[in-house]
Structure 1
């Protein structure tokens, strides 16, 4: 257990504030060094993301280890919006736990994979690293406009596949219930992907799991910041606020529409995505005197 008091806690989305949505990597070196400095100061850091455990291992944990993680720190990953979780230590990722109860049926996964292969492989790919949800993502060699032009057709086809298999599903203002009247799945479209996922997956539940893990390692700080680039990321701060913590949410893509909340919403001037994320981390490393 770490004995130094934690001055701050961080819940971080990965795509956007940490990893570039263009390269899908940590493209700003200061992000790595600042995360390590904050971890060494006993700042609990959780990566709360829709990404897979394999992505976090390759694009986040491995670069952090190469930069040199401290011997003791509190770091955690909750992936696929709460379906997958694991601790992160000096030797890398610990045991990965998958909640199979929220996974899509194999037959539906197989048909979605085939759909991408047969009709949409020119602009997107099926993420084979996901363990509970399905993600179909823009190819990095494809222009954003080309992907966005094809994404609605994929969304329509994916919605139809779930309906044909008798699964309750929603997408935006469309709802198709299953035979019992339930709607256990949804499509969630982002600027670079479409996720097909259980409605039980959300970042407030993921935040709750991360805090429970951190509490096992010592007292939790009262001051927290969550950082994200989508409207669903506000739910991390929602949980912290409802649990009684002093929290503010940092929105690194505010032009999508900032939400009204009972806690402060922070923007990093005109900066967006990982440029804003890098400035945010730099602010706290400087404020805490860690340079």
Structure 2
């Protein structure tokens, strides 16, 4: 018989969980994720990061913190191209949708491009199995990185066109000879992902639902959490398929899309200021949800604010 949970969490990792500055996950966030999962709240990660990143930055700390042997966590990575499940013994087999992978010869060209022209600001992510990603060096200035990123993205687009591949970046569409668009260049505040247009947080949401269904778990509602406009696709997909969902935006400064058919929450809904963003906001919401499960645990907005800075 299916098990019903009051709600489930579908979490982007960069921003809400991992610091975009250090890429680390705070110990308190790890502890709260475990508390919620042990209390029967499904916790599923839906990220553009690789399975290796999740294993190192999320799985290993959760196991070290005392993950119960009966608990398992699902992780959808590379925006739905790969996924795996882990428990207290480690990671299970990583599933890869090879049909959604960027061609190997294009990946090789981008690796060489980064090494020859952009290595002072970014590095090629060797852990990706389907996407091609480059990321800001931790010691690079973000303002300078964003300027150089525009040059890299232009070169990545040019390489796609030269190889006869259709590609898009934001509002720019450059179709192939058959008027097709197969790939997307997707810039974030600390990286650029080059990926199949079939990938996205909506695909990740579909995979998350399938994984929980296979476990016999039916969430009564969902909270999706992200830090970019593309993360809204999680809530869009769930709402379109009849699920009750609220989306938490931990970086609303980019603008909250109008007309969404579900609630959009920010740190302001917890009584916090606009300066509380990224993993600070993620921490506040995790503490809020943890407190809801324990009526004796009272956390006021002042305590949340102090915990978030």
TM range (shorter): over 0.9
Corresponding residue for residue 221 of structure 1: 219
Checking the alignment, whether the CA contact within 8 Å between 1:7 and 1:221 is kept in structure 2 is yes
* 1:197 maps to 2:195: yes
Where in structure 2 are there 5+ consecutive unaligned residues?
A: 269-273, 298-309
Cα separation, 2, equivalents of 1:51 and 1:249: 20
Change in Cα spacing, 1:111 to 1:137, as seen in structure 2 (3 Å) is same
Aligned positions of 1:74-93 closer than 5 A: 74-93=72-91
User: How far apart are 1:174 and its partner, in Å?
Assistant: 2.0
Checking the alignment, whether the CA contact within 8 Å between 2:9 and 2:42 is kept in structure 1 is yes
Cα separation, 2, equivalents of 1:128 and 1:150: 20
Corresponding residue for residue 304 of structure 2: none
* 1:276 maps to 2:281: yes
User: How far apart are 1:2 and its partner, in Å?
Assistant: 8.7
Checking the alignment, whether the CA contact within 8 Å between 1:45 and 1:74 is kept in structure 2 is no
Matched residue SS, 1:31: helix
Cα separation, 1, equivalents of 2:217 and 2:143: 47
| Pairwise CA RMSD | 1.4
Corresponding residue for residue 157 of structure 2: 159
User: How far apart are 1:118 and its partner, in Å?
Assistant: 0.3
User: How far apart are 1:68 and its partner, in Å?
Assistant: 1.0
User: How far apart are 1:144 and its partner, in Å?
Assistant: 0.6
User: How far apart are 1:259 and its partner, in Å?
Assistant: 1.2
Deviations 1:55-82 (A, max 9, x none): 0000000000000112323521110001
- Identify the match of residue 107 of structure 1 among 95, 105, 108: 105
User: How far apart are 1:92 and its partner, in Å?
Assistant: 2.1
Matched residue SS, 1:180: coil
* 1:286 maps to 2:291: yes
Deviations 1:49-108 (A, max 9, x none): 000000000000000000011232352111000100111222222110111111111111
Corresponding residue for residue 231 of structure 1: 229
Cα separation, 1, equivalents of 2:41 and 2:179: 44
Corresponding residue for residue 242 of structure 2: 244
User: How far apart are 1:222 and its partner, in Å?
Assistant: 1.4
Corresponding residue for residue 20 of structure 1: 19
Cα separation, 2, equivalents of 1:286 and 1:243: 29
Cα separation, 1, equivalents of 2:34 and 2:58: 12
- Identify the match of residue 170 of structure 1 among 165, 168, 171: 168
Corresponding residue for residue 306 of structure 2: none
Cα separation, 2, equivalents of 1:105 and 1:143: 31
List structure 1 segments (4+ residues) > 4 angstroms apart after TM superposition: none
Cα separation, 1, equivalents of 2:32 and 2:217: 22
Cα separation, 2, equivalents of 1:172 and 1:274: 25
Give the alignment's TM-score, normalised by structure 2: 0.91
Number of positions where the alignment pairs a residue of Structure 1 with one of Structure 2: 289
Deviations 1:152-192 (A, max 9, x none): 11011110001000111111222221222211001001100
User: How far apart are 1:219 and its partner, in Å?
Assistant: 3.2
Where in structure 1 are there 5+ consecutive unaligned residues?
A: none
Matched residue SS, 1:85: strand
- Identify the match of residue 61 of structure 2 among 57, 60, 63: 63
Cα separation, 1, equivalents of 2:217 and 2:184: 36
Deviations 1:114-165 (A, max 9, x none): 0000000010000000010101110001111110121111011110001000
Change in Cα spacing, 1:285 to 1:2, as seen in structure 2 (3 Å) is farther
- Identify the match of residue 182 of structure 1 among 177, 180, 185: 180
Residue range with higher mean Cα deviation, 36-45 or 214-223: 214-223
